[in-house]
Structure 1
Amino acid sequence: MNFGARLEAVAALVPPCHTLVDVGTDHAYLPVLLLQQGKIEQAIAGDVVPGPCEAARHTVRTFHLEDRITVRQGSGLTVAAPGEAEAAVMAGMGAETMLQILGESPEVWQHPTFRHLILQPMSDAARLRHWAEKNGWAIVREELAREGKRLYELLHLEPSPGWRYPSACYEIGFDLVERHHPLLQDLLAERKKKVQLLLEQMGRSERARASRQYGEYQTLWKQLEAIERGNGSNGKQRNDGNGHLSVHE
């Protein structure tokens, strides 16, 4: 079965572990792929909607994995008990939804045996970088994957109390910059296009130009240009207020 570049990239970030929770599993393709690769021993495939759960059960039966994949209907990480899994994947949803899921089940991801979060947001990855820093989870790896015309960001987080994001620009993954990821220029072009459009739209209004948000977008534009030139500062800087410099897609 061809699982697609996005799902293959997600699977590549998953470290070897015994039990993994796949949040919003849909057809349960990811647990199947990970079991085929020998990366996991068992999986909990969760979805809040009955239809995807039934589709997941069909996939599990098709691959004869009933003894290794458990399909559970429920919201987010509530499908797993604290200490039941060491890792979780959230893929194909917005960062806001991921933050809601994390907010409703802290007892799962704060458990001492829980060690890995693999996140593939459809939008606003910057918010996840802020969350990681605030909640003591280090971003140990970031990846980009292209499937069709869409470019996807992926993050692998591990517990690390006191960890600080090593860049002033939360919009672009620092790990991607450090490794000169082959798709980094594509991501920068996408972000610059969005920021430029926002600045042009806000620039038509005197009131908007005087706003704090306009100044933040100007700062973000300069950061993106510096990264593109390859000589941006990696020093830690702080914005006042909530520190968010992100582009909502």
Structure 2
Amino acid sequence: MISERLQYIIDVVPILDTIADIGTDHGYIPVNLIKKSRAKKIIASDISKQSLQKAKDIIIKNHFENVIDTRLGNGIDILDIDEADGVIIAGMGGILISKILETSYSNKFINKKPVLILQPVQQAKELRYYLYENNFKITDEYVMQENNKIYHIIIAEKHHKIDDRYDKIAKHKDIYMEFGIINIEKKSELLSKIIRNNIEKIKILINELSKKSVEQQHIDFLKDRLKNMEDIYYETWGTYPKA
């Protein structure tokens, strides 16, 4: 039985010829992708020998040795040039995912522009900023909840120019980077709840800081962030959030 988070990732992976699962851990994603006929071949890699052995065990148990190749190594360095049509990097921080792409993407993908399926366990905003600043276009994204923890799943591809969608909403850019412009456009009930909770936390924090000797600049920053978040909520859901 795999977790809801991993199942969600599996469900949004498009059908591709060759997929690389970077940081495969126990190998649940590759095995289930093959079971669902989402790929003809999968490269499952991990920097940990112990984790990779666990992946090998489940691959052998399912008799998928001929279609899932395991490799020990760091990031996408384990790939040959233009070897994969899709790359999954899940279960890491957004900054680490950014570093993996920064270090090796341009060396490993010369003619291909693989679909990137990215699932940061934290720092989703930082990852979106990296993608934006390095000409990766987010083509879809999702937000889900498992055990009271929120996870973002980002689908992206290398683009020939910077994604100008964020320039059009420059005033609220930081908020859109935090929650995802496509996520907001989808108007999901979960995201509505997440933003409402964030708004309430900021209000409480402003109230607490106002009673202490805190620099006004910090309080003003929070008030500005609060207003931007409330504005986006109103523009999206047509009403201001209630406490």
Smaller-chain TM-score bracket: 0.7 to 0.9
Aligned to 2:217: 210
Q: Which amino acid aligns with 1:185?
A: S
Q: Does 1:164 align with 2:142?
A: no
Count the aligned residue pairs: 229
Deviates more, 1:47-56 or 1:198-207: 198-207
Name the CA distance, whole Å, in 1 between partners of 2:111 and 2:52: 29
> Where do residues 215-226 of structure 1 align in structure 2 (5 Å cutoff)?
215-226=220-231
- Please say if residues 187 and 236 of structure 2, whose CA atoms lie closer than 8 Å, have aligned partners that are also in contact: no
Aligned to 2:195: 188
> Where do residues 35-184 of structure 1 align in structure 2 (5 Å cutoff)?
35-108=34-107, 110-162=109-161, 163-166=163-166, 167=169, 168=173, 169=175, 170-184=177-191
Higher percent of residues as helix:
2
Deviation at 1:206, TM superposition (A): 3.5
Per-residue Cα deviation, 1:66-101 (whole angstroms, up to 9, x for no partner): 011111111111111221111111111111111121
Deviation at 1:151, TM superposition (A): 1.9
Query: Aligned with 1:146: secondary structure?
Result: strand
Name the CA distance, whole Å, in 2 between partners of 1:39 and 1:156: 16
Q: 1:4 to 1:215 in 2, by over 3 A?
A: same
Name the CA distance, whole Å, in 2 between partners of 1:35 and 1:5: 18
Q: Which consecutive residues of structure 1, in runs of 5 or more, have no partner in the other structure?
A: 233-249
Per-residue Cα deviation, 1:2-31 (whole angstroms, up to 9, x for no partner): 322211211122111111111110011101
Q: 1:68 to 1:224 in 2, by over 3 A?
A: same
- Please say if residues 81 and 108 of structure 1, whose CA atoms lie closer than 8 Å, have aligned partners that are also in contact: no
Q: Which consecutive residues of structure 2, in runs of 5 or more, have no partner in the other structure?
A: 238-243
Name the CA distance, whole Å, in 2 between partners of 1:109 and 1:215: 45
- Please say if residues 48 and 73 of structure 1, whose CA atoms lie closer than 8 Å, have aligned partners that are also in contact: yes
- The TM-score with structure 2 as length reference comes to 0.84
Per-residue Cα deviation, 1:141-197 (whole angstroms, up to 9, x for no partner): 111122222221111002222222434231111111111123112321453355456
Query: Aligned with 2:178: secondary structure?
Result: coil
Name the CA distance, whole Å, in 2 between partners of 1:90 and 1:72: 15
- Please say if residues 77 and 108 of structure 1, whose CA atoms lie closer than 8 Å, have aligned partners that are also in contact: no
Q: 1:14 to 1:222 in 2, by over 3 A?
A: same
Deviation at 1:40, TM superposition (A): 0.8
Query: Aligned with 2:151: secondary structure?
Result: strand
Deviation at 1:201, TM superposition (A): 6.8
Deviation at 1:114, TM superposition (A): 3.0
Query: Aligned with 1:101: secondary structure?
Result: helix
Query: Aligned with 1:127: secondary structure?
Result: helix
Aligned to 1:22: 21
User: Which of these two proteins has the greater Rg computed from alpha carbons?
Assistant: 2
Q: 1:130 to 1:178 in 2, by over 3 A?
A: same
Q: 1:109 to 1:147 in 2, by over 3 A?
A: farther
